[in-house]
Structure 1
């Protein structure tokens, strides 16, 4: 469902949802959208040691723009700073959007938000997606 949500986002916007150049960058972008990955999810990850320390703090790996050396930043908290609705709108104004289109946008945001839940156990299932109003409601 995660992949389906990413694909729907890309079809709708023409942009990649998590355009990181490395797994580390993509993890950071995912957490920018959804917040820190729950510890119980991380503990099950086979490759967690590549991106998280022993306390499950995220280790952001970047190239310093001045020295061009790799630097690592330990992040004990990662807050969601990305707004899915704004990303879907891509600069469009909501105020000019017809009411029906706005309703469908809100349904899409809701469905994608649920499909992009960081905890797979809480993520939208295929059956739930198929009965979601975004899928079920006809557009006039």
Structure 2
């Protein structure tokens, strides 16, 4: 996939790559899905512009949801502090659980979402290393 400034996904990808190190500070999460595969294991055959996360600790549901909420709130605060011109909307589900962030910078939006159902991992989550030359 040709990815230059004229590509409609370019600015979303720049924002996504800027957000990833701020998410990585929360070691309770691992990337899953299209973003993890396309950015780190494939040559971006299709582009996903959201960040899907799995909560790694195996805990009871209420404990997990509390920890997810706290971690997402820390990520939201970190993003707004570090990435100038960025706003974060913390979204709740019908039961008032915080499971999603909508991050916006100058009309470019990236969603960060945690699955409340899929928790834990069969294998250890490898660390994310940022090898992308991105200008913020």
The normalised TM-score by structure 1 is 0.26
| Structure ranking higher in helix proportion | 1
The normalised TM-score by structure 2 is 0.27
| Structure ranking higher in strand proportion | 2
Q: Report which of the two structures shows the higher radius of gyration computed on alpha carbons.
A: 1
